Amino acid sequence: MWKWLHPYAKGEATYRLLGLWQPWLSGLALVFVTVGLVWGLFYAPPDYQQGDSYRIIFIHVPSAMFSMGAYTGMAIAALIALVWQIRTAEWAIAAIAPVGATLTFVALFTGAVWGKPMWGTWWEWDARLTSQLILLFLYIGVLALYYAFNDARTGAKAAAILALVGVINVPIIHFSVYWWNSLHQGATITKFEKPSMPPEMLIPLLISIAGFLFLTAALITQRLRNEILKQELHRPWAMEKLGVEANHGV
């Protein structure tokens, strides 16, 4: 297996492989997101309790799911970068973090917009909202550290260590925030109990979740390809890709 994997430690091979995946991922993302959102936003039946305002779930839930999924992916890349010193994995951190941060922000924003009609407030110190907010801080921390160093390699490694420290902390933070919430929150807001979903709502939600998965993967793939190209710009293959004349020995 190692022999098979080894070529992908090189930027060029990874670039090619991702290039093969890229159109498929983008196409699937386009189809699934469109079908899921159009179905969910226009054709799914309104909720008996929340009316039409529940429809934001078709964006909120998938983005929240993959905001955490992206963090896990970033931590795995960080582990690979630190243990096997593979530079592609270091660039993957930089490729994943902004996508994850954006998903986190989208989840927070849609949560706030959803909270306004449901709970009567833009922001509630609800456990999920709070831990999502902290996740956003963690993402920003990794990004800030990544770009804080003059030497890109040092920055990537430092960010990798931070991502790993963060991933150990994420469950602890998550758990503590839930615990804090159950301790402090009185019955001031009656949180709407999630009913088991009828299939007319569940199917578009699942399609939308799949769509966001493909979308996340496509965005990360594209960002990673750009990053590889940027970092390998001094190599002949990258210059060729960009159509830059390789001026050898000048």
Partner 1 sequence: MNKASSWQLMTTVMRRDLAVALRRRSDIINPLLFVVIVVTLFPLAVGPGPDILGRIATGVIWVAALLSSLLGSERLFRDDFLDGNLEQLVLSPAPLPLLALGKVAVHWLLSGLPLVILAPVCALLLKLPFEAWGTLMLTLLVGTPMLSAMTAVGAALTVSLGRGGALLSLLLLPLFIPLLIFAAAAVESTLVGTSAYGQVLLLAGLMLLTLMLAPLAVAAAIRVSVN
Beta bridge partners of 51: 47
Alpha carbon distance 9, 86 (integer Å): 6
Q: What is the DSSP letter of 28?
A: H
CA angle 202, 206, 211 (to 5 degrees): 145
CB 128 to partner 1: min, Å: 15
Alpha carbon distance 80, 20 (integer Å): 23
- List the one residue from 92, 134, 201, 207 that touches partner 1 (CB under 8 A): 134
The verdict on 87 binding partner 1 (CB under 8 A) reads: no
The verdict on 141 binding partner 1 (CB under 8 A) reads: yes
HSE of 58 in the Cβ direction (CA atoms, 13 Å)? 28
The verdict on 158 binding partner 1 (CB under 8 A) reads: yes
* Residue whose pair of structure tokens reads 């196409």 in the numeric block: 27
Residue closer to partner 1, measured from CB, 26 or 176: 176
The verdict on 83 binding partner 1 (CB under 8 A) reads: no
The verdict on 164 binding partner 1 (CB under 8 A) reads: yes
CB 114 to partner 1: min, Å: 24
The verdict on 145 binding partner 1 (CB under 8 A) reads: yes
Residue closer to partner 1, measured from CB, 120 or 171: 171
- List the one residue from 183, 187, 242, 250 that touches partner 1 (CB under 8 A): 183
HSE of 64 in the Cβ direction (CA atoms, 13 Å)? 20
SS3 call for 232? coil
Residue 163 CA, distance from chain mean position = 14
Alpha-carbon dihedral of residues 234, 239, 240, 241, nearest 10 degrees?
110
Q: Which stretch binds partner 1 (CB under 8 A): 168-176, 206-214, 224-232, 236-244?
A: 168-176
Residue closer to partner 1, measured from CB, 182 or 247: 182
Alpha carbon distance 152, 207 (integer Å): 39
CB 159 to partner 1: min, Å: 9
Judged by the rule CB under 8 A, the positions of this chain that interact with partner 1 are 82, 134, 137-138, 140-141, 144-145, 148-149, 154, 157-158, 161-162, 164-166, 168-169, 172-173, 175-177, 179-180, 183
